[in-house]
Amino acid sequence: MAMDNSQDAKAEAILKDYFNLKDALVNDDNSKAKELGNTLAQSLKSFDASSYSDSEQNELNDIIEDATEHAEHIGESDIAHQREHFKTLSKDMTDMVAITGTSMTIYEQYCPMYDNNKGGAWLSMNEEIRNPYFGAQMLKCGKVQREIN
Amino acid sequence: MKIVKIIAWIALVAFVVIQFFPVDYNQSETVPQTDFMLVNNVPATVEQSLQVSCYDCHSNNTDYPWYSKVQPSSWYLEHHIKEGKAELNFNEWGNLSDRRKNSKLRSIINQIEDGEMPLDSYTLIHRDAIFSEANKTAVIDYMNKLKDSLE
């Protein structure tokens, strides 16, 4: 795990943008989520993996490229599509944190009902469940899978 | 009426002039080893559907219609093809990581399901590119199977 401070700062900024986006989806706020999707895409683009090992760089660049595409699509989609992209984006964020580490305490949470019962996971800074896939419709559906840090 | 005449002349001259602007045609003789059809074991019907409905804008080789030789439609096509390939190029499928393949497959499935692809502006002329219900189901089923095999 790389512990370069400036590097961590960029990963933390990405995570914060991701959490803001998640909150917009929890609040069923399509236009806010669009805005925050674009903000996240910008943060992702400024990420620089050069301080990591070669294999980590490959993995990180792949994650960032994928996440950027999802963030950009969230910036221009209706809320159902935003949530679909958010599911894959959440996987990308989880994989990113596994490499970059974080100073925050993060909870991986899971709702088994999303995506025709295929389920969907997400990351949150709060232990309490607030479901970004269903919003007000099923706000508290889900459980904490694990704690990161 | 004089002004209308002048405008008509200017438009005509502009139309002739733009015919001389160069166009970057999307054509390639060879199919790289990384092509979707070479990397995957694609059933013939699905392959046929993808070639007809997707490959014009999502590969390195476009089967150009006659009007592609006439400006400004060449520019219009050039722009669409460039954008299409940036989103997804089936010829370069093998270069993608599993993560990227997974995301691309998800988009392919959703856009075909929702009828967003192929584009209406494309099927307006290419009537054969419209998926029949059977072909649509076959393509989506295949893409889902491929996606599940990656996860």
- Can you give the three-state secondary structure of chain B, one letter per residue? CHHHHHHHHHHHHHHHHHCCCCCCCCCCCCCCCCCHHHHCCCCHHHHHHHHHHCCCCCCCCCCCCHHHHCCCHHHHHHHHHHHHHHHCCHHHHHHCCHHHHHHHHHHHHHHHHCCCCCCHHHHCCCHHHCCCHHHHHHHHHHHHHHHHHHC
CA distance A82 to A61: 22
> Percentage of residues in chain B with pLDDT exceeding 70?
100
Does B97 have pLDDT greater than 50? yes
Does A5 have pLDDT greater than 70? no
CA distance A21 to A89: 11
> Percentage of residues in chain A with pLDDT exceeding 70?
95
Within a 13 Å sphere around the CA of A87, how many CA atoms are in the beta-carbon half?
A: 21
- Taking the CA atoms of A89, B41, B140 and A141 in sequence, report the sign of the dihedral they define: negative
Residues in chain A, total = 149
Q: Are the C-beta atoms of A100 and A147 separated by less than 8 Å? A: no
CB contact under 8 A, A62 and B97: yes
DSSP state of A69: H
Question: Does any CB of chain B come closer than 8 Å to the CB of residue A77?
Answer: no
**By CA distance, what is B105's nearest residue in A?**
A88
Q: For residue A2, what pLDDT is reported?
A: 45
Does B127 have pLDDT greater than 60? yes
Q: For residue B63, what pLDDT is reported?
A: 86
Q: Write out pLDDT tens, residues A117-147.
A: 989 999 999 999 999 999 999 999 999 999 9
Question: Does any CB of chain A come closer than 8 Å to the CB of residue B97?
Answer: yes
CB contact under 8 A, A63 and B106: no
Does A31 have pLDDT greater than 50? yes
What is the mean pLDDT of the segment spanning A42-56? 93
What is the mean pLDDT of the segment spanning A10-28? 96
CA distance A67 to chain B (A): 9
User: What are the backbone angles phi and psi of residue A111, rounded to the nearest 5°?
Assistant: -115, 115
Which residue in A63, A81, A84 is closest to B99 by CB distance? A63
Question: Does any CB of chain B come closer than 8 Å to the CB of residue A72?
Answer: no
Question: Does any CB of chain B come closer than 8 Å to the CB of residue A24?
Answer: no
CA distance A87 to chain B (A): 11
How many Cβ pairs within 8 Å bridge chains A and B? Answer: 19
DSSP state of A125: S
Does B67 have pLDDT greater than 80? no
Q: For residue A38, what pLDDT is reported?
A: 97
Among A7, A64, A70, CA closest to A38:
A70
What is the mean pLDDT of the segment spanning B113-131? 90
Nearby residues of B106 by Cβ (< 8 Å), 6 or more positions away: A84, A88, B147
CB contact under 8 A, B110 and A88: no
Q: How confident is the model at residue A7 (pLDDT cuts 50, 70, 90)?
A: low
What is the mean pLDDT of the segment spanning B79-84? 90
What is the mean pLDDT of the segment spanning B28-43? 89
Q: Is the ipTM of this complex over 0.90?
A: no
The burial of A13, by beta-carbon neighbours within 10 Å (0-12 exposed, 13-18 middle, 19 or more buried), is given as middle
Q: For residue A44, what pLDDT is reported?
A: 96
Q: Write out pLDDT tens, residues A70-125.
A: 999 999 999 999 999 999 999 999 999 999 999 999 999 999 999 889 899 999 99
Does A1 have pLDDT greater than 50? no
